[in-house]
Amino acid sequence: MPRAPGAKRRPPSQAWLQFDEQHFRSTLSAGLGLLGVSPLKADPQVPGQWIIPDLAETLGQDPD
C-alpha cells in the first residue's frame, strides 16, 4: 500500500516492537509521576521536542 505524501516510514525495528512515540511519552510521564515529579512537557520553542524535569533538583534534595 502506498504511503501518503510526506508520511514518515517507521524503521522495521520500530514496527516489530510496535513502538509508538505517544505511548513512550505517556509511559515516561507515568514513571516520573510515580517518582513524585512533573511529567514531560512539550518544549514551546522546539516543536516535537520534550522537556524532562530536573530530577536532581527534586529527587537529589537532602531530606534534612
Q: What is the pLDDT of residue 62?
A: 60
Task: Measure the CA–CA gap between 58 and 55, rounded to whole angstroms.
Answer: 5
- Spans of the chain, pLDDT less than 70: 1-10, 57, 60-64
pLDDT of residue 7: 55
pTM: 0.60
Give the pLDDT score at 6. Answer: 53
Any idea which residue has 512515540 for its cell?
Answer: 21
Cβ-proximal residues to 42 (8 Å cutoff; 6+ apart), any chain: 49, 50, 51
Q: Which three cell numbers stand for residue 3?
A: 504511503
* DSSP SS3 for 41: strand
pLDDT attached to residue 8: 67
